[in-house]
Structure 1
Amino acid sequence: MVEIAAYRLNLLRAGYLLLIIGLGLTVWPSILDPAKSWELTRGVVVAMLGALSLLALIGLRHPLRMLPLLFWEVTWKTIWLLRMALPLWAGHRLDAATTENAVECLMVILIVAVIPWDFVLQVYVKGSGDRSRRHASQ
């Protein structure tokens, strides 16, 4: 197993904490407001972001085990920025709401910065995968 320095683990915990605080301030007030209602797709987004913030709590205790949660965060924001924001920006068609969302999504740079990429390379890319069958002796 690749050894991770304590300060790197704490930086990773700070990334989870950023998710918890950011989503706690923006998403959870809507979730907890019984008078709040959303159209279908917005409701799905709010529920998924709420789940992300709750799972990030586990990341405070188990930062390496919860890395796939950060991979998901980086991936969806990167896809949104490349597929939605970048073409609008290139065509000079960004409105205020899309610009605000793009700025929020660009904060993913902080998550990218705290991920221990050497660990990711060794464990997720170069490491052996989980077996797919039981051994005959079992």
Structure 2
Amino acid sequence: MVEVSLVRLYFLRGLYLLVVVGLGFKVLPGFIQQDQPWERMEGVVQCMLAAFWALSVLGLRYPLKMLPILFWEMLWKSIWLIVVALPLWSSGQMDAATWSTASACLLVLIFPFAIPWRYVVEQYVKRSGDRLR
């Protein structure tokens, strides 16, 4: 069993706290004081962000058990940056809204430094999976 240091656990909690505070200021006011119904995709995005916020709150208490939520966040932002932002940037077609989203997604660059990779390999790669039957 790989032991995760207390410093690494605090680093992870700091990452979850960053998400909780950042999304708390961005997402929660829209839920509390929603003036009009959201469009379909805006509603999907806002609800997914709210769910990520709530799971990040759990990450403050259980930073290792909630690692998959950080993987999901890191993966979707990386995919978006590569598939959407990079082609627009390389062709000189980035508008202000896309720059804003890309800037927010680039915060994902700090995630790999907080994740205890030896623990991840031990728990998710080397460990046998759950039974199929």
Aligned to 1:113: 113
Correspondences of 1:14-93 after superposition (within 5 Å): 14-93=14-93
User: Contact 1:30–1:36 at 8 Å: present in 2 too?
Assistant: no
Q: Which moved more, 1:119-128 or 1:61-70?
A: 119-128
| 2:57 aligned counterpart, secondary structure | helix
Letter in 1 for 2:93: R
Per-residue deviation, 1:34: 3.1
Per-residue deviation, 1:26: 0.9
Q: Which moved more, 1:7-16 or 1:109-118?
A: 109-118
Q: Which moved more, 1:115-124 or 1:98-107?
A: 115-124
| 1:43 aligned counterpart, secondary structure | helix
Q: Which moved more, 1:22-31 or 1:87-96?
A: 22-31
TM-score after normalising by structure 2: 0.95
CA deviation digits over 1:18-54, x for unaligned, max 9?
A: 1111110111111111314321001100000001001
Identity value in percent: 50
Aligned to 1:127: 127
Size of the alignment, in residue pairs?
133
Whichever structure has more helix as a proportion of its residues is 2
TM-score after normalising by structure 1: 0.92
CA deviation digits over 1:7-27, x for unaligned, max 9?
A: 001101111111111110111
Q: Which structure is larger by alpha-carbon Rg, 1 or 2?
A: 1
| 1:79 aligned counterpart, secondary structure | helix
- Flag as ranges the 4+ runs of structure 1 deviating above 6 A: none
User: Contact 1:70–1:111 at 8 Å: present in 2 too?
Assistant: yes
